[in-house]
Chains A and B, each alone.
Chain A
Amino acid sequence: MVFSSLFFVFFFLAACFLCYYACRSIKAKNVVLVIFSLIFYAWGEPVWVSMLIFSAFVNWGASMLIGKYRGKKIGNFFAGAAIVIDLALLIVFKYSGFIVENINALLNVSIPVPQIVMPIGISFFTFQAVSYIMDCLWETVEPQKKFGRFLLYLSLFPQLVAGPIVRYSVIEKEIENRKATPVDISEGAMRAIIGLSKKVIIANNLYAVVEQFFGSDISGLSFLGTWYGVILYSLYVYFDFSGYSDIAIGLGRMFGFHFNENFNYPFICKTISEFWQRWHISLSSFFRDYLFYAPIFGRPRKYLNLFLVWFCTGLWHGASWNFILWGLYFGVFIFIETLIGKKRLKKWNKIWTHIYSKIIIIIGFGIFYFTDLSQLGQFFVNISGAGMIWHGQSFGDIVTYNSLMNNLFLIIFAIIVSLPVLPKIRYVFDEWGNNKVFAFGKVGGSLVCCALLVICSILMVDNTNNPFLYFRF
């Protein structure tokens, strides 16, 4: 079930709200959420919902044993075993085809490539499980004694299939006791509607243009056409993914959960390191906490771990070389930035650091887009201007010009929304103004959200096929 479908919003979610708010006790509310979460998952994965439950059971069981043998070495064993099982499931379902293909190519053998369809969201809930096990082992959280509650943590449908990767510690207390006040419900609803609008109004329409430029052979694209396509694609990924996170966070809040933020206006960054502190925060902090500081061969090794983190970040995004390349590409720039040093970077002219970081990030999204390596090569030829200089490609072209004119307001709007304009507006109403201004903002915001919801609903009528990009991972 994708969030940006009428069925999800106006059937599944409506039914879920009805049942959830009809319940009084927290226990009943939790039961409702678990049932709806399992239905949500089974809707897309009628078979592999069993694996989700299995994974929850294994990790819950392991955490109980870790808790029981606190301070003893055998606790490490249980943690290790659970993580091995988690990663094994991930490898089998997500990477087996990729691994076999590469073995075949490398050793010139022909092992049949397993045709496994990856269960949606496996990358997300596996990482949640791993973080939970590690936290139990490091004693930063208490193991959850009740299986039902742990299942709720792992399967909670707002964040189940496309993040954010919520740490157990974040919602540990709220699983046991929480209250969704009118403030939470109202704020959560507005947040979810803004997320839906990001996806339906902006991302979907940007993607239609991206496909127009990158959907077929790109060797005929002009220099500007390639830049135009990849800039729109960067915006698209941001709106698609952050829109999803907004919906997840908003819905969570409507049920009384307070998830951590997953994005913080990544395009205003000045360095690549800063970009990753603002982009998919739950993933980068996962790798930072559980891999970067992990003792490899006895102790943390800065550069080896840096390489590992970025290799894994890339690989996590998909079983394809371009994703690995994408991760390492960022790793290289972060490595260079650490060599230069934060203090020296800060002294550099802001304009230049903005231009530098945006160019690196935008080209990075090109690497992210082209899973076909020959197409990726062509992308580099186009974007570097080499195609223009040596292969007679044109600088600009009429299609790019017309496409820009056809979508000018959409693109300008997208760029504005990708900058921290909304928080500034909110600041005026929430912090700067008096109570009257605040009340005006609240009512005005609600009306705007109503309008957005109606527009999204109308646009979703035409969206028979608009899966979220991040379902792939």
Chain B
Amino acid sequence: MEKEKKKPERKKGFNYMKRRNVEYGFSVISLLIMAPVFIAITVFLVAIPRSEKSEIEKRNLAKVPEFTAESYFSGEYTAGLTEFYDDTVPDRDDFKNVGYNFKSLFGVHTEDEVKVVGHPINVVNKEDSKSSVKSKTSKETSSDKQESKTGKVEETTQSSESAKPEESKEPDEQSEEEPEYQVENGIIVVKQNGHYRALELFGGGTGNNYVNALNRFQQDLGDKVQIYSMIAPLASEYYTPDSYKDHTVNQKETFDSIAERLDDGIISVDIDTVLGQHTDEDIYLRTDHHWSPLGAYYAAQTFAQAAGVDFYDLGTFEKKDIDGFVGTMYAFTGDADIKNDPETFTYYVPDNNDKCTTYYYDTAFGYSGTGNFFNGIGDASNAYLTFMGGDEQIIKVKTNVQNGRKLVIVKDSYGNAIPGYLFKSFEEIYVVDMRYFDLNLVDFIEQNDVTDLLFAMVTYSAVGDNADNLENLRTQAKGKKIVDEALKEED
């Protein structure tokens, strides 16, 4: 409708006056059609109570910003108001669902379709990505050789002047030790056995920061504590269709390379192979970025064998279901098929759960109370919160077992599903999130007489940014006395 065509000559006798009147009259009618729609939407947005939470995106929606001179002149205030208005649309999630359904009309749908979200790169043909992994690895070996007496690794690329003594290096700088990697590699949605499954592809990475941090923990803790490294593969390890195998890095190779570089004293728990034997069971959630509690069960079993502790068959657990679960991958992909194909979230409660106490602490180990490990917060919109209710905390589970074994699990959210299977294997289990822990982990382990330290996380955490924080856990807030206020209260 940009430039209109030249008006052609009208037929003789064309009544211009009449046409003008018709045009005028029907323009009024046109406005009478359009204006009510515009007004109705405006009234709906202005007058109806606003949404506060998005179940799809699993987040609280924007709030009205606070007005200050500073926030106004920086533009934050007005931007915040716009965001508030746009973000808190009444019935927001329903409209989003309608929108995603509309967008599904854009494409051709076939039985074996693969829907692509993000940037899947070809990781096999791409020489650069392969050689960069290799070169980083070899660089790491050479920098290992330069390890100073204090146990600090200096970058080989740094000039000798910049080689600083141990204490001067801020924890933040650790992240600079390893250049950024392409760990995110897009998501594909595939249909398998009649159900849709969203798969995060893996772009590769070396895990240098993970390896370095664990080796230093081993040096600090020595023989007193047994360290285990257990990295969970992403679901794409098993469910990627053949046509996309070139677009996701083989995670087993990454794990093997990490295991090779870990100190001999650290036990690498290979769950990649174990999970690979159960791929026809529901070991991963189809609509979420997590594995399923069943996948975590096989992992916990493998870990228990490695740790030489008792472990009980799944039949001894009480099975519980949350139906109609749609996970985070819906919000990530905006794919209506994921939304319309919910799954059942099945989790397992140990039969000694009543005899165990779960203590909840904040991220600085400030005690906040006891509760059930399977706290019942998890529902169809956020089933994974079933375990401890989230990540931003420290918890301790005191079990009825007495075998002198105390375990610390350093984890991301994948690890949340593990502790429940170990209630009959350890006397005490501490669960620490690698992203939210304000204490010194070495002090924490030593002062609590911990015997076993398990690093349990997904590939992305081990080779991505999260791993940067592991070194911080080792070096931050050193030398403080750690008091467990829960014990005081019990006394």
Contacts of A38 in B (CB 8 A): none
Contact status A213-B119, CB under 8 Å: yes
Which residues of chain B from 43 to 76 have a CB within 8 Å of any chain A CB?
Answer: 45-46, 72-75
In the complex, A11 Cα to B81 Cα: how many Å?
11
Contact status B75-A10, CB under 8 Å: no
Which residues of chain A from 158 to 217 have a CB within 8 Å of any chain B CB?
Answer: 181-183, 185-187, 189-191, 193-194, 205, 211-213, 215-217
The answer, yes or no, to whether B487 is at the interface (CB within 8 Å) is no
In the complex, A138 Cα to B441 Cα: how many Å?
77
Contact status B42-A14, CB under 8 Å: yes
Contact status B106-A431, CB under 8 Å: no
Contacts A189-B31, A438-B22, A461-B95 given: A431-B8 contact, CB under 8 Å?
yes
Write the nearest CB–CB distance from A156 to chain B, whole angstroms.
Answer: 20
Write the nearest CB–CB distance from A270 to chain B, whole angstroms.
Answer: 17
In the complex, A461 Cα to B116 Cα: how many Å?
22
Report the interface size for chain A: residues with CB under 8 A from the other chain: 83
Contact mask for chain B residues 96-131; partner A; CB cutoff 8 A; 1 contact, 0 none: 101110110111101001111111111101111100
The residue in chain A whose Cβ has the minimal distance to the Cβ of B245 is: A398
Q: In the complex, which of the residues B33, B96, B246, B247 contacts A461, with contact meaning CB atoms closer than 8 Å? A: B96
The answer, yes or no, to whether B170 is at the interface (CB within 8 Å) is no
Q: In the complex, which of the residues A242, A392, A402, A407 contacts B2, with contact meaning CB atoms closer than 8 Å? A: A242
Contact mask for chain A residues 233-257; partner B; CB cutoff 8 A; 1 contact, 0 none: 0000000001000100000000000
In the complex, A463 Cα to B126 Cα: how many Å?
33
Contact mask for chain A residues 33-63; partner B; CB cutoff 8 A; 1 contact, 0 none: 0000000001111110000000000000000
Contact status B45-A6, CB under 8 Å: yes
Contact status B37-A43, CB under 8 Å: no
In the complex, A212 Cα to B23 Cα: how many Å?
46
Contact status B27-A181, CB under 8 Å: yes
Contact status A459-B102, CB under 8 Å: yes
Q: Pick the most buried of A7, A191, A394, A410: most chain B CB atoms within 10 A of its CB.
A: A7
The answer, yes or no, to whether B41 is at the interface (CB within 8 Å) is yes
Contact status A463-B86, CB under 8 Å: yes
Contact status B27-A220, CB under 8 Å: no
The residue in chain A whose Cβ has the minimal distance to the Cβ of B100 is: A462
The residue in chain A whose Cβ has the minimal distance to the Cβ of B184 is: A216
The answer, yes or no, to whether B352 is at the interface (CB within 8 Å) is no
In the complex, A392 Cα to B126 Cα: how many Å?
9
The answer, yes or no, to whether A273 is at the interface (CB within 8 Å) is no
Contact status B27-A187, CB under 8 Å: yes
In the complex, A1 Cα to B82 Cα: how many Å?
8
The answer, yes or no, to whether A409 is at the interface (CB within 8 Å) is yes
Give the interface residue-count category, chain B: 35 or more
In the complex, A449 Cα to B182 Cα: how many Å?
43
The residue in chain B whose Cβ has the minimal distance to the Cβ of A225 is: B122
The residue in chain B whose Cβ has the minimal distance to the Cβ of A412 is: B106
Contacts A449-B34, A454-B37 given: A212-B116 contact, CB under 8 Å?
yes
The answer, yes or no, to whether A447 is at the interface (CB within 8 Å) is yes
Contact status B108-A409, CB under 8 Å: yes
Write the nearest CB–CB distance from A288 to chain B, whole angstroms.
Answer: 17
Q: In the complex, which of the residues B5, B99, B182 contacts A458, with contact meaning CB atoms closer than 8 Å? A: B99
Write the nearest CB–CB distance from B423 to chain A, whole angstroms.
Answer: 42
Q: Pick the most buried of A11, A242, A398: most chain B CB atoms within 10 A of its CB.
A: A398
Contacts of A402 in B (CB 8 A): 113-116, 188
In the complex, A47 Cα to B72 Cα: how many Å?
9
Which residues of chain A from 378 to 419 have a CB within 8 Å of any chain B CB?
Answer: 391-394, 397-399, 402-403, 405-410
The residue in chain B whose Cβ has the minimal distance to the Cβ of A447 is: B33
In the complex, A194 Cα to B24 Cα: how many Å?
21
In the complex, A261 Cα to B1 Cα: how many Å?
10
The residue in chain B whose Cβ has the minimal distance to the Cβ of A201 is: B102
The answer, yes or no, to whether A115 is at the interface (CB within 8 Å) is no
Contact mask for chain B residues 117-161; partner A; CB cutoff 8 A; 1 contact, 0 none: 111111101111100000000000000000000000000000000
In the complex, A6 Cα to B38 Cα: how many Å?
11
Write the nearest CB–CB distance from A3 to chain B, whole angstroms.
Answer: 12
The answer, yes or no, to whether B377 is at the interface (CB within 8 Å) is no
Contact status A406-B107, CB under 8 Å: yes
Contact mask for chain B residues 271-312; partner A; CB cutoff 8 A; 1 contact, 0 none: 000000000000000000000000000000000000000000
Contact status B8-A46, CB under 8 Å: no
The residue in chain A whose Cβ has the minimal distance to the Cβ of B44 is: A10
In the complex, A190 Cα to B31 Cα: how many Å?
10
Write the nearest CB–CB distance from A35 to chain B, whole angstroms.
Answer: 16
The answer, yes or no, to whether A80 is at the interface (CB within 8 Å) is no
Q: In the complex, which of the residues B22, B34, B110, B243 contacts A450, with contact meaning CB atoms closer than 8 Å? A: B34
| 24 sample A-B contacts, Cβ–Cβ < 8 Å, listed by A number | A6-B89, A7-B81, A11-B42, A11-B45, A42-B78, A189-B31, A219-B128, A220-B121, A220-B125, A264-B3, A392-B125, A392-B127, A393-B125, A399-B120, A403-B116, A405-B107, A406-B108, A423-B5, A426-B1, A442-B26, A443-B33, A454-B41, A461-B95, A462-B99
Interface positions of B (Cβ within 8 A of A):
1-5, 7-8, 18-19, 22-24, 26-31, 33-34, 37-39, 41-42, 45-46, 72-75, 77-78, 81-83, 85-87, 89, 92, 95-96, 98-100, 102-103, 105-108, 110, 113-123, 125-129, 182, 186, 188, 243-244, 246-247, 334
Interface positions of A (Cβ within 8 A of B):
1, 5-7, 10-11, 14, 42-47, 181-183, 185-187, 189-191, 193-194, 205, 211-213, 215-217, 219-220, 222, 242, 246, 261-265, 391-394, 397-399, 402-403, 405-410, 420, 422-423, 426-427, 431, 435, 438-439, 442-443, 445-447, 449-450, 453-455, 457-464
Known: A449-B34, A464-B83. 7 other contacts (CB 8 A): A11-B45, A212-B118, A220-B123, A265-B2, A408-B108, A443-B29, A457-B41
